[in-house]
Amino acid sequence: MLTRAYRFELNSSRVPIGEPQLEVQDVSLRFGGIHALSEVSFTVRRGAVHAVIGPNGAGKSSLLNCVSGLYRPQSGRIVLHTADEDGTRREHDLASSRPHTIARLGVARSFQNIELFGHLTVLENLMLGRHIHMKHRMFPAFAWFGPARRQEIAHREFVEEVIDLLQLQAFRHAPVGSLAYGIQKRVELGRALCIEPSLLLLDEPMAGMNAEEKEDMARYVLDVNELRGVTVMLIEHDMGVVMDISDRVSVLDFGRLIGDGTPDEVRGNQAVVEAYLGVDE
Amino acid sequence: MSLRRRAAGAPVDLADQTFPRLLARQVAERPGAVALQEKRYGVWQPVSWQEYAARVRDFGHGLASLGVGRGDIVAVLGDNRPEWVIAELAAQSIGAAVVGIYPTSLDEEIVHVLTTAAIKVVVAEDQEQVDKLLKVKDLVPHLAHVVFYDPHGLETYEHEWLRPFEEVEEAGRAWGEEQPAGWFEEQVAAGAPDDIAVICTTSGTTSRPKLGQLSHRNLLAMAQNLTGVDPLGPDDRFVSFLPLAWIGEQMIAVACGLAHGLTLSFPEDAATQRNDLREIGPHVMFSPPRIWESMLSDVQVRIDEAGWLKRKVFGWGYAVGDRVAAQRLRGQRPGLADRALLRVADWAALAPVRDQLGLSRIRRAYTGGAPLGPDVFSFFHAIGVNLKQIYGQTEVCGIAVVHHDDDVRFHSVGVPIPGTELKISDDGEILLRSSSVFRGYVGNDEATAEAVSPGGWLHTGDAGYLDDGHLVVIDRAKDVLTTPTGTRFSSAFIENKLKFSPYVEEAVVFGTEEITAMLVIDPQTVGAWAEGEHLSYTTYTDLAAKPETYDLVAEEVHRANADLPEEIRVRRFLLLFKQLDPDDDEITRTRKVRRNVIAERYADLIAALERGDPRVRVSNKVTYQDGTVTKRDIDLRVLDLEGYRPPDRTKQRPVWSSRR
């Protein structure tokens, strides 16, 4: 009998809750003479919602791009901790890895400007998120029989659980390009989840949304984190949302880390207040 | 479209059965056939009669192990899912009754039902419903267990009340094994037709809902009488998307479903209902008018967006369908030429629309609960859907009077179903007597005595009269008013005439000397109209305040006035700046206007309408979803129709379009 409880794990990290999962160590990134990031260091712990905030141009997206391998920092290390089934720990330096290797390590991300395939349906976009887990040879895949078929059905089941979790049922067969912005953002989150992330990077998941959509998205992010155990690192502008849902907040300003702590600590941090509200001169 | 008639089904006398025994009979006759199916993960997941009965048995044992016994009442709070009916049949199998609570109900309503019926076990759907129950837990001391069937989000909840549905089934299986063999069957056999099976809440426009008790005999007699007129068979499908707490859904989905072995289909999600309806293509439907009205507005909006060729073809096909339907409804047989034309029109224009609406297999569609506009009625008959009016109330299992096939008169509600006596009392009230008349309200003997006279006549509280054997309902008897010149009328009668316009969503009428109306526009149809007129607007409030919108509605009111006697024509109206919302208590969950709330909240507006002020200022408080509250002043216009002349137009707007 098909029960209502989910059968698949979304989280793929075996690092115990509370231990360091991602360590950003003295990362610096320059574009010519511009210092996008200067010696930034902080730690994301397994099971947390870790927010990175800062004014426009502070280097938030650059940092996320370094973690996902799109940019290569000039100096510093970005260490991802993983654990094997038997508990053996491994360390991977993301700063010197290619994006596809990083994706295989379970680092999934969504983009600030939606990067979906507009002409494909929601279902197809999500199935593409499963791509790195599909292993079939060319002929069975073309003919769609035997193992290839069984595998695709198993992946579809996984995708359907994500659709259920994010309540995308009504849009399953709709081309993504025809959907409202808020729904597309949800599909982006869904595709990242289909990778079975060990670490989920969200680049401004609530940008451009109205209050109701933001509340929904915050709910989904919390569900993914609290109920499905996925570590989330997110960039967000909406301070209300950040302070509500984050366990830990790192603040960037002009590429430097000016604050790092719990939401309450950051709220009381003078440098952060000045960066956000300006200083009387 | 011809209507296939079937031989009337059940050989047994349904009135001597109970729901659990009928379930056992279905299992014996067709164990592998699909009883329930729910769309999950994008696929229809079937449950056979045998599996259904096995889950009922396990959950029944589980309920017994939680201390539910004969005569108790189990509440179900949630959307339609297989677990809803499994819980219902499980409770009935061990001699308990079930009461459904509308899933949109808020704290006070929930507490009222739970305390009135002394509920020990609630079967709730999900986190949302469980949260509501946890919030009121101090107010419901009887409640001992909450069983939930959708565990998502509840993984981290720890409360001694809570248990997952499957765990109760498992515990029930183990508990059942400890009982003497045949315990469950004995329980089912011990159930009598006169035991209470279902408790339905009355909609309560005036007071708190009352809990009407219906026995197995009540419901099954109704099923027998209804299917005596309109047969149903085991191949028929039904899509269950209206609340099972509503008598109309219990009536067809559960009572007729068990009696005749219908397959029930449960949609995946509220947002996918329409699509799922279309995939299933049910044979029978019973929905309140708003569903039919929204189907018509859907068609209007989509046809208005279609190209000219499609509009022409549909316009022609509709005209043919409308003409033939009118002949049939007058009892005439259409001529050969018309029948040939209809075949072409059906193929080219009508069948595709039926298919889009999910009505391609529909044999009978019912509407009830409120009057349906003649425009909507004729639209469905023209496209070949056999839409019929039902008249009934919770106290008589939802149905007592229905249109017979090919004898549908839009202003009447039809003739009594077999086994039902109808008479009009001396003061004009409709009285009904049948074996479906309910078994009283829970804990309210006074109200029961008022509703049923010692002779077994149910006082419906509705005023009506007979017209050539057909019943015509005026309104609730206490709402019938008299003008200074002595004309008897009801506000609802005028309101319904106004609401027959596709642009008017709700109407509330005031006064006896000079009739005034507060109207609420339908944002979908008026929005589409505004788009066609190249009229830009921002919000609902903005759209409702546009002078062009006032002109549009004025024409509609003028048209409604033409159907009304001189003394009760609408003199003045205004367009309200917001829609009526059940969350604001302005309207019930079944969308009936709460006049007392309206009268209190909008006293200034109503006074201005009565005085005939040209404008009125109100201050409106808006609470947004994030909790922020803003206050705005709104200037509303009151339009006086004295001396109003509608603009000259050669062409009338067709029923199927919101364009002229």
Domains in chain A: boundaries: 18-106+197-276, 116-194
Distance between CA atoms of residues B20 and B188, nearest Å: 6
Residue B491 above 80 pLDDT?
yes
Distance between CA atoms of residues B343 and B348, nearest Å: 9
ipTM for the complex shown: 0.82
- Paired with B621 in beta bridges are B631
Residue B607 above 60 pLDDT?
yes
Q: Which pLDDT score is estimated for B476?
A: 80
On whether any CB of chain A is under 8 Å from the CB of B565, the answer is no
Distance between CA atoms of residues B84 and B505, nearest Å: 32
Which amino acid is it at A7? R
- The enclosing H or E element of B510 equals strand B504-510
- Are A164 and B41 within 8 A, CB to CB? yes
On whether any CB of chain A is under 8 Å from the CB of B269, the answer is yes
Q: Which of A133-137, A246-250, B437-441 has the lowest mean pLDDT?
A: A133-137
Confidence grade of residue B7 (pLDDT, cut at 50, 70, 90): very low
Residue B2 above 70 pLDDT?
no
Q: All domains of chain B, ordered by start, with CATH?
A: 14-283 (3.40.50.12780), 285-360+362-391 (no CATH), 403-478 (2.30.38.10), 483-640 (3.30.300.30)
Q: Which pLDDT score is estimated for A243?
A: 87
Query: For A149-172, what is the mean pLDDT?
Result: 91
Name the region of B528 (left: φ>0; alpha: ψ -120 to 50; beta: rest): alpha
- Are B626 and A164 within 8 A, CB to CB? no
What are the tens digits of pLDDT across the range B179-206? 998 999 999 999 999 999 999 998 665 5
CB A38 within 8 A of CB A28: yes
Q: Do β-strands B34-40 and B263-266 pair in parallel, antiparallel, or remain unpaired?
A: parallel
- Are B150 and A4 within 8 A, CB to CB? yes
Comparing alpha-carbon positions, the chain A residue that sits nearest to B151 is: A5
CB A252 within 8 A of CB A54: yes
Residue B5 above 50 pLDDT?
no
Instruction: Look over chain A and give the mean of its residue pLDDT values, rounded to a whole number.
Output: 88
CB A245 within 8 A of CB A216: no
Residue A144 above 80 pLDDT?
no
State phi, psi for B605 to the nearest 5 degrees.
Answer: -65, -45
Confidence grade of residue A277 (pLDDT, cut at 50, 70, 90): low
Query: For B248-272, what is the mean pLDDT?
Result: 93
CA-derived radius of gyration, chain A: 19
Distance between CA atoms of residues B522 and B502, nearest Å: 7
Start-to-end CA span in chain A (Å): 69
pTM reported for the whole predicted model: 0.83
Nearest to A21 by CA among A198, A240, A194: A198
Sequence-separated (6 or more) residues with CB below 8 Å from residue B70: B94, B95, B96, B190
Q: Which pLDDT score is estimated for A1?
A: 57
Q: What is the 3-state secondary structure (H, E, C) of B12-78?
A: CCHHHCCHHHHHHHHHHHCCCCEEEEEEECCEEEEEEHHHHHHHHHHHHHHHHHCCCCCCCEEEEEC
Half-sphere exposure of B235 (CA within 13 A, CB side): 4
What kind of architecture, by CATH, is found in domain A18-106+197-276?
A: 3-Layer(aba) Sandwich (3.40)
Q: Which pLDDT score is estimated for A50?
A: 95
Sequence-separated (6 or more) residues with CB below 8 Å from residue B411: B374, B467, B472
Query: For A97-107, what is the mean pLDDT?
Result: 90
CB B297 within 8 A of CB B522: yes
Q: Which of residues 195-214 of A touch B (CB under 8 A)?
A: 211-212
Distance between CA atoms of residues B249 and A62, nearest Å: 56
Q: Bigger pLDDT: A175 or B636?
A: A175
CB B214 within 8 A of CB B222: no
- A170 Cα to chain B: minimum distance (Å): 5
Confidence grade of residue B131 (pLDDT, cut at 50, 70, 90): very high
CA-to-CA dists, residue A47 to A189, A216, A222, B157, B655, angstroms: 17, 21, 11, 19, 58
Task: Give the angle subtended at the CA of A234 by the CAs of A187 and A167, to the nearest 5°.
Answer: 25
Alpha-carbon dihedral of residues B106, B111, B113, B118, nearest 10 degrees?
Answer: 160
CB A232 within 8 A of CB A50: yes
Query: For B527-539, what is the mean pLDDT?
Result: 88
Query: For B102-110, what is the mean pLDDT?
Result: 88
CB B527 within 8 A of CB B579: no
What are the tens digits of pLDDT across the range B573-583? 999 998 988 87
Query: For B266-278, what is the mean pLDDT?
Result: 91
Q: Which pLDDT score is estimated for B4?
A: 41
Name the region of A165 (left: φ>0; alpha: ψ -120 to 50; beta: rest): alpha
Distance between CA atoms of residues B425 and B420, nearest Å: 16
- Are A215 and B268 within 8 A, CB to CB? no
Q: Which pLDDT score is estimated for B659?
A: 65
Chain B residues with CB under 8 Å of A123 CB are 42
Residue B126 above 80 pLDDT?
yes
Query: For B54-72, what is the mean pLDDT?
Result: 95
Chain B residues with CB under 8 Å of A5 CB are 151-152
On whether any CB of chain A is under 8 Å from the CB of B150, the answer is yes
Query: For A11-33, what is the mean pLDDT?
Result: 91
Distance between CA atoms of residues B247 and B400, nearest Å: 13
> Would you state the structure tokens that stand for residue B571, as one six-digit string?
């003199």
Instruction: Look over chain B and give the mean of its residue pLDDT values, rounded to a whole number.
Output: 88
Q: Which pLDDT score is estimated for A122?
A: 95
Query: For B294-322, what is the mean pLDDT?
Result: 90
- Measure CB to CB from residue B42 to each of A3, A160, A165 and give the nearest one: A160
- Measure CB to CB from residue B166 to each of A3, A160, A226 and give the nearest one: A3
- Measure CB to CB from residue A223 to each of B42, B153, B269 and give the nearest one: B153
On whether any CB of chain B is under 8 Å from the CB of A253, the answer is no
Residue B361 above 60 pLDDT?
yes
Q: Which pLDDT score is estimated for B11?
A: 52
On whether any CB of chain A is under 8 Å from the CB of B153, the answer is yes
Task: Give the angle subtended at the CA of A262 by the CAs of A240 and A213, to the nearest 5°.
Answer: 25
Report the percent of chain A where pLDDT is more than 70. Answer: 95
Residue B437 above 80 pLDDT?
yes
- Are A227 and B271 within 8 A, CB to CB? no
Query: For A9-32, what is the mean pLDDT?
Result: 91
Q: Which pLDDT score is estimated for B593?
A: 84
Q: Which pLDDT score is estimated for B68?
A: 94
Q: Which of A13-22, A150-159, A271-280, B514-523 has the lowest mean pLDDT?
A: A271-280
Q: Which residue has the tokens 């539910």?
A: B68
Q: Quick count: other Cβ atoms within 10 Å of Cβ B645?
A: 7
Chosen from A1, A2, A3, A4 to mutate, greatest number of chain B CBs within 10 A = A4
Report the percent of chain B where pLDDT is more than 90. Answer: 55
Residue B406 above 70 pLDDT?
yes
On whether any CB of chain A is under 8 Å from the CB of B332, the answer is no
Confidence grade of residue B359 (pLDDT, cut at 50, 70, 90): very high
Distance between CA atoms of residues B353 and B379, nearest Å: 11
Query: For B257-268, what is the mean pLDDT?
Result: 94
Residue B517 above 70 pLDDT?
yes
- Are A170 and B272 within 8 A, CB to CB? yes
